[in-house]
Structure 1
Amino acid sequence: MKKWRFYNYLLAFIIISMVLSLSFTVVAVSTVPVTGRSKQLFLLLEIVLGIGILLLPQLVARLGHFKLPEILYILFLLFIYGSVYLGTVYQFYSRVPHWDKILHVGSAMLLGCLGYALIGIFVRGKQLTQLSPVFMAIFAFTFGLSIGVFWEFYEFAFDGLLGLNMQRFMAHGVLLRGRAALIDTMGDLFADALGTFAVALLGYMGIHRDVHWLDKFMFHKIAPKK
């Protein structure tokens, strides 16, 4: 029998939590009037998509015959749990101060780790030992921060196209001005920079001591069962 790792227990806990919420939401949809179902149906869709996103990495790993880096997968699970389940289902975005910024730090840490993983994918063997720890740290930092910047591009574009307020440039329907209109976006970017910098610094110290510290971010191939 295969021994369960920590991420297996974490995944099971999150899936059970989301399935329970899914059940409650289905009941809510069936009991509220038709005119008031749109919010519950949207919540139902988000929970279903969240469960699908949670299961996607392991499905891709099995099809591609590789092992997911444990630390990367744990950060991924925690981010989905915090954003989809706590953030949306339990409305932490509006109830918990700075919840959005906390998630930005977490996602930036995840992306910084992914930056190290990409180094492990494209550089192998002896070439990896010849790379400077400073270079690898800078790559991880710039990779994570760049994705954060592109995310702000996405929010800006869809705010304009769909009339959304993802960048919080309005408050109670009133347009903000000057620095007030920039606080949310700049706060997100500062949070991204903080998260990626923490991972880059930790990575630098680990790789400086031993380049094999990078192994924990590697995607290891698994021989397919015959």
Structure 2
Amino acid sequence: MNFERIPYLTLIIWGILAVAFFVALFTRQWSNAFVTCVALTLTLLPTVFSNRFQIQIPLSFLAAISLFLFGTLFLGEIFDFYNKFWWWDVLLHGSSAVGFGIIGFLFVFYLFQGDRYNAPPWALGLIAFCVALSIGALWEIFEFAMDEIFGLNMQKSGLQDTMWDLIVDTIGASFGAISGFLWLKERSLGLSGMIEEFIQNNRSLFKRFSRAVKNKDNADK
């Protein structure tokens, strides 16, 4: 594992989760130990995925993923931040949905390689939005499964909590997908820099698009 490609924030979160896991085992708080173990495992997955498939994920994105999982599973469940702070759930779901929108856009963009004939920018943005919302729905299923199987309380008020989460997911996914759309239109909306960084760092995944950009630059000269 290349620690130079891991954000300091992620390393700190790993350390906190590892200590919390062993403390929970020592004090026989089995539920906390399980939740902490799940959180630690999920924060490790992006780095393992990056190393396995030789994909350079922006450090800011890796840190954001770790922070989201730390906030939702560790702080949210073990320290009950969801009930202590009414805005905690909205903040996490909204920010994660934006990230899902970016992930959805990059995945769709990889499939179509920026081919405007097969998929114009608005279509890429729409598909990215659908992918992001699907990920949000899968997360709700995950919460339901954790509650039903392990007796947790991730869904809080049940249907009402789920529906508000999906509404926030929709807003966040729209923002992420629009960021991708505007990037294709050579405009900027906050997260466009992260999209540009990912594509620049993984040019081997976007060979056709890179050739098209190079040809365009040569033509402009």
**TM-score calculated relative to the size of structure 1:** 0.70
What's 1:121 paired with? 110
Q: Is it true that 1:11 corresponds to 2:10 in the alignment?
A: yes
Post-superposition Cα deviations, 1:109-164, rounded to whole Å, max 9, x if no partner, equal 1211111120232123x626974322222222121113323444566688789998
Which of the pair has the greater relative contact order for Cα pairs under 8 Å at 6+ separation? 1
- 1:73-84 equivalences in 2 (<5 Å): 73-84=62-73
Q: Structure 1 pair 44/221, CA: closer, same or farther in 2 (3 Å)?
A: farther
Q: Structure 1 pair 165/191, CA: closer, same or farther in 2 (3 Å)?
A: same
Q: Secondary structure at the match of 2:185?
A: helix
What's 1:102 paired with? 91
Q: Secondary structure at the match of 2:7?
A: helix
What's 2:182 paired with? 205
Alignment partners' CA distance in 1, 2:3 and 2:152: 46
Alignment partners' CA distance in 1, 2:179 and 2:39: 30
Amino acid at match of 1:136: L
1:134 equivalent among 98, 103, 122: 122
Q: Secondary structure at the match of 2:180?
A: helix
Alignment partners' CA distance in 1, 2:105 and 2:30: 39
What's 1:45 paired with? 34
Q: Secondary structure at the match of 1:66?
A: coil
Post-superposition Cα deviations, 1:81-106, rounded to whole Å, max 9, x if no partner, equal 11122112322122221322322212
Structure of larger gyration radius: 1
- 1:1-226 equivalences in 2 (<5 Å): 4=4, 7-29=6-28, 40-124=29-113, 127=115, 131-152=119-140, 167-168=155-156, 182-209=159-186, 214-218=195-199, 220=202
**TM-score calculated relative to the size of structure 2:** 0.71
Q: How many residues are aligned here?
A: 198
Q: Tell me if structure 2 keeps the 8 A contact 1:114–1:217.
A: no
Alignment partners' CA distance in 2, 1:160 and 1:9: 35
Q: Which consecutive unaligned segments of at least 5 residues does structure 1 have?
A: 30-39, 171-181
Q: Secondary structure at the match of 2:27?
A: helix
Comparing 72-81 with 9-18, greater Cα deviation is found at 72-81
Alignment partners' CA distance in 2, 1:157 and 1:85: 17
% identical aligned pairs? 27
Q: Structure 1 pair 3/166, CA: closer, same or farther in 2 (3 Å)?
A: closer
What's 2:215 paired with? none
Q: CA-atom RMSD, angstroms?
A: 3.4
